[in-house]
Amino acid sequence: MTDAYAWIEQSLATIHRADWYRSVQTINGRSGAMVLLEGREVINFASNDYLGLAGNERLIAAATAAVQEFGTGCTGSRLLSGHRELHQELEKAIASFKQTEDAVVFSSGYLANLGTITALVGKRDLILADQYNHSSLKNGAILSGATTIEYPHCDVQALRSELQRLRQDYRRCLIVTDSVFSMDGDLCPLPALLDLAQEYSCMLLVDEAHATGVLGKTGAGCVEHFGCTGRQLVQIGTLSKALGSLGGYVAGSATLIDFLRNRAASWIYTTALSPADTAAALAAINIVQQEPQQRTRLWKNVDYLKILIQEQLPNLQLLPSQSPILCFQLPSAADVLKAGSQLKSAGIFAPAIRPPTVPTSRIRISLMATHQAAHIEKLIEVLKGIDCDDLIKSR
Ligand SMILES: *Cc1c(COP(=O)(O)O)cnc(C)c1O
């Protein structure tokens, strides 16, 4: 008899051989622009906490007060066990922030994507998806049973030809895209996607995970950035990045949200967002709306890093980015691991992103509003110092 589980060890060995193996590193203390990584103080370029709100006193106070008042858990799904006014307040705040009729919060952004895509399309339908979409969008598409076609990254012409070729063969069609691409930092061509969606009678779902709190005049995201507020679409996002909490949301028409409350399995059959997470996210939205200076600081840091790179590392080619996510591509997974560990020993925490997350290996830098100029200057010094022949041969 063979051991039915033996393949797992072999599979892990294959992962190791490809330099695709991942393991977690322990952070101590509160999260921020500097963190203790395995006991050593490092500058944190590895966080999605763009506004530095995860360690913010007001979020901590709001979460603490909510735990004191309501306890730690919500004890069941919202339909069965009832929800809290806090949930409704948060949903109202999201809808008003996004200028949509309504919003619904999920326990994570991942679950929001799975639940929404599977509720909107099924076997008779078509999904057209950007090839660089987040895992939650890809898995939502698979779970829905719809025919899924990936179009080349941000290629509107290719999307149009797929629509011309396929649209009439399907009942409903859903175009799905990240708004800020999480592992690249560039933006989807939103206005063109909206026009195509209208022309071919498709729904459009945009994932604002890395845009919410970051892009747009009021921080409402990419939709606001492109002046598309009020257009009909399905906006998804997370409470766990710039909003410093945990959870996901969908914002859109009242009909859409009402429908999701009845049909999104990952909302119906899961426990409601905890009081602490809900209260922290609500406090974060208030800060984003009332204190644009946090966002200004973030964008100043982005500009400063880009300028220093241009001046001092002119050969270092960044992937095109219009967000606080800046990536340097390297030839192989082994190179990127080596660069990541050199950065770490020099006091810089920036993750090596490898396949299968992305097609090509890269170092991903994400900036925060709370980074000081000195943090960014140190990053430049370290990048200059590391053995970066390979860094320079990027695409
Ligand atoms: C992080 C992320 C998600 C998942 O959000 P969570 O709240 O962390 O589950 C979804 N989509 C994109 C594009 C993301 O980057």
Cβ contacts of 145-153, under 8 Å, gap ≥ 24: 146/121, 146/122, 146/174, 153/181, 153/184
Torsion sign over Cα 228, 229, 235, 237: positive
| Candidate of 137, 138, 188, 207 to mutate for ligand 1, largest count of ligand atoms within 8 Å of Cβ | 207
Which residues approach ligand 1 with their CB closer than 6 A?
108-110, 113, 134, 136, 178, 182, 207, 209-210, 238, 240, 248
Mean pLDDT of 207-213: 98
Torsion sign over Cα 189, 190, 191, 193: positive
Domains of the chain, first to last:
22-52+292-391 (3.90.1150.10), 57-290 (3.40.640.10)
Higher pLDDT, 17 or 389: 17
Nearest residue (by CA) to ligand 1, atom 7, is 109
Pick the atom of ligand 1 nearest to 182's CA: 15
Q: Which residue in 271, 273, 279 sits closest to 81, CA to CA? A: 271
- Cα–Cα dist 368/366, whole Å: 7
Residues of the chain by 3-state class (helix, strand, coil), percent to 5: 45, 15, 40
Q: pLDDT (tens digit, 9 = 90+) per residue, 242-294?
A: 999 999 999 999 999 999 999 999 999 999 999 999 999 999 999 999 999 99
Nearest residue (by CA) to ligand 1, atom 8, is 109
Pick the atom of ligand 1 nearest to 111's CA: 9
3-state secondary structure of 365: strand
Query: Residue 156's pLDDT is what?
Result: 98
Instruction: Judge contact between 233 and 206, C-beta under 8 A.
Output: yes
- Cα–Cα dist 91/95, whole Å: 6
3-state secondary structure of 143: helix
Count of Cβ atoms closer than 10 Å to residue 242 Cβ:
31
| Candidate of 241, 270, 327 to mutate for ligand 1, largest count of ligand atoms within 8 Å of Cβ | 241
Q: In the block, which residue shows the tokens 């705040």? A: 93
Q: pLDDT (tens digit, 9 = 90+) per residue, 79-93?
A: 888 888 999 999 999
| Candidate of 182, 246, 250 to mutate for ligand 1, largest count of ligand atoms within 8 Å of Cβ | 182
Nearest residue (by CA) to ligand 1, atom 2, is 209
Q: Which residue in 199, 375, 210 sits closest to 304, CA to CA? A: 375
Q: At what angle do helices 275-290 and 292-312 cross, to 10 degrees?
A: 80
Query: Residue 386's pLDDT is what?
Result: 80
Beta-bridge partner residues of 203:
174
Q: Which pairing describes strands 352-353 and 102-106: parallel, antiparallel, or unpaired?
A: unpaired
Token pair for 290? 């009332």
State the DSSP code for 216.
Answer: S
Q: pLDDT (tens digit, 9 = 90+) per residue, 137-179?
A: 999 999 999 999 999 999 999 999 999 999 999 999 999 999 9
Q: Ligand 1: distance of its center to the CA of 340 in Å?
A: 23
Contact partners, residue 136, CB within 8 Å, separation at least 6: 109, 110, 112, 113, 114, 207
Contact partners, residue 333, CB within 8 Å, separation at least 6: 18, 19, 20, 352, 354, 355, 361
| Candidate of 106, 134, 138, 176 to mutate for ligand 1, largest count of ligand atoms within 8 Å of Cβ | 134
pLDDT category at 385 given cuts 50, 70, 90 is: confident
Q: Which pairing describes strands 102-106 and 27-28: parallel, antiparallel, or unpaired?
A: unpaired
Q: Ligand 1: distance of its center to the CA of 63 in Å?
A: 21
Mean pLDDT of 92-108: 98
Pick the atom of ligand 1 nearest to 238's CA: 7
- Cα–Cα dist 225/185, whole Å: 15
pLDDT tops 50 at residue 394 = no
pLDDT tops 50 at residue 101 = yes
- Cα–Cα dist 289/357, whole Å: 33
Q: Ligand 1: distance of its center to the CA of 110 in Å?
A: 6
Query: Residue 387's pLDDT is what?
Result: 62
